[in-house]
Structure 1
Amino acid sequence: MTYRAAWTLPDGTPAPGPDLGEVKPGETKTVSRKLKNIGDQPLSAVQITLVDDLPGVTVTVGDTPLTPGQMHAAPGLAPGESLDVTYSRTVPPDAEPGVFRAFLRIRALT
């Protein structure tokens, strides 16, 4: 029995987590990923929390936008099933260059 999940591209190809790469001032970038149950056991629920409240960051799970700091309970995932996750960042035109990170906390219940 294994309980495992992994990020994939929308076509199912294995992928890193949602990383936007470089986003320049005035730009908006968006990436889509799937959080897929790659184990052989169902996950009864997936809990996702957008930890940070950064300006211009939006995360949507399925059709539900996440509110920073509040846990979103997604439906269970059978082996092979996945959730759509869209991650976007709009950088203000007057933003200073630098590195930022926004974190998602993901827990799966068995």
Structure 2
Amino acid sequence: MSTSEVLVAFDGDLGHADQLAGDLADFLTHRDPTLPVQRRRTDTRSQDFGATLAIVLGSSAVTTLAAGIAAWLRRRQDAHLELRRTLPDGRVVHVKLRGQATARTERIVTDFLNG
């Protein structure tokens, strides 16, 4: 996999999504300070810090991100998120995940990021 961008969006109202985005961003950067995580606003008119995360990945960061998301979902069982990325042919693919991560969650995220 070459360098690509993955967007992480959260279900629910904007305030809760903003809180979840901040929590996941902090969690991921604490696990790996080199992981490029950036918060983005869903609506430029809102006053939130950014309820969507943009993560630029190289192949070495896939395992770190997959393990981090699975670990975070195990502790944030209230979270519902969607990972999105654009393939080289322009198609947008996505996968939805919910809290209460299972042993398969990390594998699902890894396959999605590598796919």
TM-score between the two structures when normalised by the length of structure 1: 0.35
If each structure's helix is expressed as a fraction of its own residues, which one has the higher value? 2
Structure of greater relative contact order (alpha carbons < 8 Å, 6+ residues apart): 1
If each structure's strand is expressed as a fraction of its own residues, which one has the higher value? 1
TM-score between the two structures when normalised by the length of structure 2: 0.34
